[in-house]
Structure 1
């Protein structure tokens, strides 16, 4: 090249401009990368995830409020055998669960409790048919062949007459027990077990771990069974029947054992069971107050749930709670465990727990002015009636469907708040 020849123009390559999301993949050349939008743009989803997690944790309702509400409904169910009131209680619990449960694994256990309630009703009816009923009846439906029994089994029979009154009495009893189970299932579906464990006093932490592990067994079992059945369907294998149940049972038990070992290792790594040194007098006083208080709570609860004894049940329950709380406060001095972001008992928690307590108190009060409506007789056969004021008191249990915070919607990529 001579000095007189002009220099060649520099080669210019057009810089790719910003592309829309729709055209990002249509006109991109093979091997071409999208333009780098900066470090902050890449970290934006992570920051958004943290904000959502903190907001969900701040808006979450205290787990103890859900259990108080559910136990209030269970107390109301134990005070009546009216199938209309029991069905109303089950409907109230189901509506609140449908409105306020999350997509967490433990929230899927409510359907299992519904099926368990139906199984309980069926077993109670089968026992009434096979073993008879203590209720005398005149409407004989069928007469089964009776098995002769020896003299030492006098008072027990197998077979014989099956009356309509006996079946109705068994149905009422089965509905009562099924409603209790469904109310407990509502608490399992709504309350976060980890948050419930974190909210327990320091004196009950060791016992609370065992209780929480026991309560999470049913939700984890249901989740494992659903996961394994879905895997069998994807592989073209049957997921129903006795054979499929036997093949699913072993992996479920293996998964439960693995979770137990992992939980034990995590507890050991976190220094589980370490306590501080306290004087012997404080230790003995704590044991006496806690044991006496728990016995008082059991006696008072039995008096409230029983048909008789509501008069002494409430004072004994109040005295037992006071003694138990004093023992727990003293026992908390031995605990060296700290809490990170403890759950707050706010106005919504008071509304949720207060609605359950109100349903229980009003149903107990209804036994004094409408005992016949709450316990319809099986002899003679009469259609049960829906009493007005007890039904209105049951409807107070719907308050959590509006007072509790709405469940936060989570994507599969987001981490669980716990």
Structure 2
């Protein structure tokens, strides 16, 4: 059975005894652990990666497929594209991708990649073949040329597959290396630029008033997303203990997303920076306090509570979490019904940034407020963060729709 020795940094030596030799000499090779595994938050991912490498090396040596230096023979059995997919999913995707990303990748694999490349030998797929295929990708429903963003999602998926096949020695050359990453042309860039990305302060004031036509839970959900810059799934996962009325803050630590089967599930937020307290306008927190009282009253009256110990602030009845897409669809219907220009639900996060920027907040402070993944936040749980953000959101106190004469 093979074992590994840490050589320092991200390098490891894999060792196995050669059974074909009477003296059973040791055979070894050096591998480098990928950065995404080295930096993984879980030791389990690193241990699993090493275990897979040890097993692969053991198979090569004990089956006689080990080759001395200078020989370029493939280190693994020849595989078709379709045959390699389960290995890619088990060893890489399930350890490094979110459930939602795996779900979307599965759809791409089944609808696009398997029909085109499934029966092709992995090492016989050429760069030219891939480039021509990408150039002619079309919408499966109407036959129109595929939008660049859709092409990019397909590119990322197939690139991951070929990259790993090359890294693991299944193919000696990576054909995707010669295929250009899809990029928008001038026409597409102009079209995207013309799409409304966020609302102005005047539009926000009108939206806040119009949202009184919604059920209270949805009015407070969309208002919170707009003023707190929350991601869709983050705010759906907030529970009652996450509300701090005294300090007017909401704690974000989880998100509602989907797993690789497309089923709704609660998981941790994607990055460490995404977790933490988010200050909110005091008037909004007072509305949440009143909403919580009604929430608890309705739970007591519920004959069959299905939420278990979970106390989701926003739920679909009987304590059950919402599907993330439910919020998106509800928002789209509200805008259409009331004649507002459509802005994606995620655009409310950008709207929060716009409101802060209009009141003089600098970009770094806005990034802290939005808990951007690229910002190295060091004061996530301290009063220092609260102080910075409390002054940041003070202008939002004036957005209270009840202060306006026509508010309900």
Tell me the TM-score normalised to structure 2 length: 0.21
Tell me which structure has the larger Cα radius of gyration: 1
Greater RCO between the two (CA within 8 Å, min separation 6)? 1
- From the two aligned structures, give the one with the greater strand fraction: 2
Tell me which protein shows more helix as a share of its residues: 1
Q: TM-score, normalised by structure 1?
A: 0.20
